[in-house]
Amino acid sequence: MKAILHWALALSAALIASQASAQVTFYEHNNFEGRAFTTNDAVFNFNDIGFNDRASSVVVSHGQWEVCEHAEFHGRCFILRPGYYRSLGEMGMNDRLSSARPVDRHHEENRYAPQPLAPQITFYERDGFQGRAFNVQSDITNFQQFGFNDRASSVIVFGDRWEACEHANFEGRCVILRPGRYPDLNSMGVNNQLSSVRIVHPAARYDDRRYAPPPAPVYDWRRRPQEQLYNVNVSATRAVYAAPQQRCWIEREQVAQPQRGEPNVPGAVIGGVVGGILGHQIGGGSGKDIATIGGVVLGAAVGANAGRDNHPAPVTQNVQRCTTVPAQGRPEYWDVTYYFRGVEHHVQMTAPPGPTVLVNENGEPRL
């Protein structure tokens, strides 16, 4: 009898501990937006808390949870493992949940919802996702432990936001990275300066100043749980380079001054004045006036033509020259073409593929 009592007490304590460690949060909209409620205990009817048929995304923080479309765990049900479920529409349960409860034992695999992909961030040693890579799926307090301290120059973020900091233990200047491709960390002033990184909770909201500049979109090529894959032959591969650029430089060269073909206006003025003086000295009476006028005309003509037949010496000056040059170095990406079930598909890859690519039922590439 005493042994049975001890067993009952132990089982009760285990159940209490299990339920205390279980936690789930339901959100009104996809991507953990809108109104939310969190529970550690079973909820027999979401209508009691004003959330019936409203849940669109879920975060399972601890334990496993069974979620059902009808009250008191009836109708179609799924078991959710810990993780971030951005859209219940992927399992056909968007805005249909009416009850939920923690479960503490393993069930048949077909009872589980597709497991969400873990958040992932990959750091690269050089710009443009080149050099050694450091792949992370959980919080890292110090890159020094992995030989990657102050080495990251480009980043690819999958799934969720991450906070990356310049010092260990998430200290110093930090920046929040959204899912996408960051080919150059110089743009945010943290090139070769990162020392720690951690996942940002999906429901956390921050001021825009905390975020890095918007990244280029990224395709999440990771394989989903229980996803059937197919090998497909590559039809064509084309290397795509950056657009041609204009290159300019300065040269020193001698430039000949143009020969003077126009009348020398300053010379004409000066010649006219001098000619007038000479004419005025030669004539007398009315003849003196006529000589003065003639001297002005003659002097102006002589002055205007002064220097027209000279050849000026060349001068040395800076001359800018430009030319269009093709982009240099490695291609920006490879455009890969393949056919799956009679449909043409294209995918951009950061490295040339082999003779085949992996795709899922929809023809989407996987690695």
* Domains of the chain, first to last: 17-111 (2.60.20.10), 120-210 (2.60.20.10), 230-243+328-366 (no CATH), 263-304 (no CATH)
Distance, CA of 68 to CA of 113 (rounded, Å): 12
- List own/partner pairs for 30-34 with CB under 8 A and 24 or more apart: 30/56, 30/57, 30/86, 30/87, 30/89, 30/94, 31/57, 31/86, 31/87, 31/202, 32/57, 32/59, 32/84, 32/86, 32/202, 32/203, 33/57
12-21, 122-131, 263-272: range with lowest mean pLDDT: 263-272
More confident position, 101 or 3: 101
**Token pair belonging to 284:** 């007398």
Distance, CA of 215 to CA of 179 (rounded, Å): 7
**What tens digit of pLDDT does each residue of 26-61 get?**
999 988 889 999 999 999 999 999 999 999 999 998
Distances (CA, A) of 241 to 124, 301, 318, 328: 20, 66, 33, 8
β-pair partners for 221 = none
Strands of 154-158's sheet in order across:
130-136, 120-126, 154-158, 180-182
136-145, 194-203, 285-294: range with lowest mean pLDDT: 285-294
| Helices vs strands, H then E, count in the chain | 3, 21
Element (DSSP H or E) covering residue 301: helix 285-305
- 128, 119, 41: which is closest to 82 by C-alpha? 119
pLDDT number for residue 104: 84
Our measurement of the distance from residue 110's CA atom to the centroid of its chain's CA atoms, rounded to an integer in Å, reads 38
Distances (CA, A) of 246 to 30, 327, 356: 46, 10, 38
356 in Cβ contact with 233 (< 8 Å): yes
| pTM for this model (two decimals) | 0.59
Average pLDDT value for residue range 329-350: 87
Q: What is the mean pLDDT of the chain?
A: 80
